[in-house]
Amino acid sequence: MPKVVLAGSGIAGLFAALNCADAGWDVCVITKQSLEESSTNYAQGGIAGILDKTNSEGKEIHIKDTLDAGDGYCDEKVVREVVDEAGDRIRDLINIGVNFQTDVEGNYDLIKEGGHSQKIILHSKDSTGKEIETALLSKAINHPRIELLSNHLALDLILEDRNSVDKKIIGLWVYDIEKEVVETFSADAVILATGGGGQLFSRTTNPSVSTADGMAMANRAGAELRDMEFVQFHPTSAAVNSDRPFLISEAVRGFGGVLMTSIEFKDWKDQDDIKNPEEFSFTKKYSDLGSLATRDILARAIDQELNFSGEDYVLLITEHLDKIELQKRFPTINDFLLKYGITLGVDPIPVVPAAHYFVGGISVNRLGQVINKSNGNVINNLYAIGEVACTGMHGANRLASNSLLEAVVYSSRASLSLNENISKYNVETTNELPDWRADGLENLVEHYSLIDDLKTLKMTMTRDVGVVRSNKRLNRALRRVNLIEKEVNMVWLSSVPTRSLIELRNMVQISLIIINSALNRIKNIGLHYNEDNFNH
């Protein structure tokens, strides 16, 4: 039977796996950690979409909000197609077993988030991603045509002829983390759903697996990467001493939470008759939408306020809201904050921006097929879906809760494209796949310089390629990351791969692409803000 190998076990990967398996494909899903460890699992807010396909007014508002958030850089045709398809794909998730929140009358409890003009976001309290992941994974585990392999890291794509301009994928090399060996996987088609690269930065809301692996391996195979300068920083990650930054969902601000500096908070509390806290918020200086402005605007606003004050964080205020309803709606957030002595609806929450989402990625067409950078054609048998891909939907800045929507729409399209052509893959192939060659290479002993290189990379990307940039900082980052790349490549060519070395190699390659893309973007737009650009 024809076989699809799918890298990644988030919403995009599992949804495509189920669709392909139902159509008769043998599907192998590989993921480098536990099957549940994906950005989908950490998504709190929800999925945006109009369920009623006849609601043309609501869809037009969703389209306009998406285009506005994307700062005029979205592909409007893509936006219209995705918004129009939203209802069907959300119903697919419901049919699979995803339970979205309902009110006492049984209607879906729709919420509003930053940048939205209407309540169109379906959610499962504040753990929507976990609910979706659980439902998809449960069905995938029990599907007879799906094989799930954890602790397997996709290393590189195998091309039929690496020297040919017209590229065709025939498999991939996969690093078995437990056995510490590289295995050769044959595949009639490969789908990359490996997520983003938040781990390039010191502070990120992403899980540890988000090291830009899919983008890097696709780029090495000849894929086009686009819009890599647009890295979204979520404005409200909890500024507490936790192992991994924790996201305070946009929905908290949609519910009425307000951002303030510590001075503004004191001024507000000092009022005899406590007024609307939004009147005291610094956010009004940056947008009429105040605390509900889009993520790019708020992240820059917070960054600028912290530079002015010298403080480490701003405050998210919720004490003016109904404490019981707030804690009922956001139990995961409340439970997390309680560990640090903070009670939702009572205490101000310290927050700072953190790397959250890669708007750019592997360039794909409307079917999720990967674009060949040398000639603009597709790379045969290769698809990319979810955060690893760039469809044009998000433009220069993603609108809240559009990520899960885009992921499921393009996952459906990619699997449908494969399913419609499954008959051509039934023909026996005679490709002999090359094994990974590690003969004569030495095992990598713990290499302190590589540990230091990773720390330096994260520090450099955070300080010089973060929310606000300048030509001086970008060029400094370029020099430093080029030096790191030389050392990593030297070790790579002389050592048997390890997970840490594979990830660092990928992170360095994608960091250089981001830096060069930022230097080449001479107009400030969306998430890209360079202090030396004065034309926006």
Question: Do residues 42 and 208 touch, judged by C-beta distance below 8 A?
Answer: no
β partners of residue 223: 372
Give the start-end residues of each E strand in 165-227.
169-176, 181-186, 189-192, 225-226
Q: To the nearest 10°, the Cα dihedral for 13, 406, 238, 324?
A: -100
- CA 244, distance to chain mean position in Å, is 16
Structure tokens belonging to residue 111: 């919420």
- Residue 295: active-site member: yes
Q: How far apart are the first and last CA of the chain?
A: 55
Of 295, 413, 473, 521, the active-site residue reads 295
φ, ψ (nearest 5 deg) of residue 331 = -65, -35
Contact 2, 159 (CB under 8 A): no
Cβ(390)–Cβ(400) below 8 Å: no
Q: Is residue 227 classed as helix, strand or coil in its secondary structure? A: coil
Helix (H, G, I), strand (E, B) or coil at 157: strand
Consecutive H or E run containing 26: strand 26-30
The encoded tokens of residue 35 equal 């099957």
Give every CB contact of residue 426 below 8 A, 6+ residues apart in sequence.
1, 2
C-alpha–C-alpha distance, residues 54 and 43, integer Å: 28
Residues of 101-140 as b/e, b for ≥16 C-beta within 10 angstroms? beeeeeebbbbbbbbbeeebbbbbbbbbbbbbbbbbbebb
Residues 6+ apart with CB under 8 A from 436: 155, 173, 182, 183, 184
**The CA-based dihedral angle spanning residues 351, 353, 199, 9, taken in that order and rounded to the nearest 10 degrees:** 80
What positions carry a catalytic annotation?
A: 295
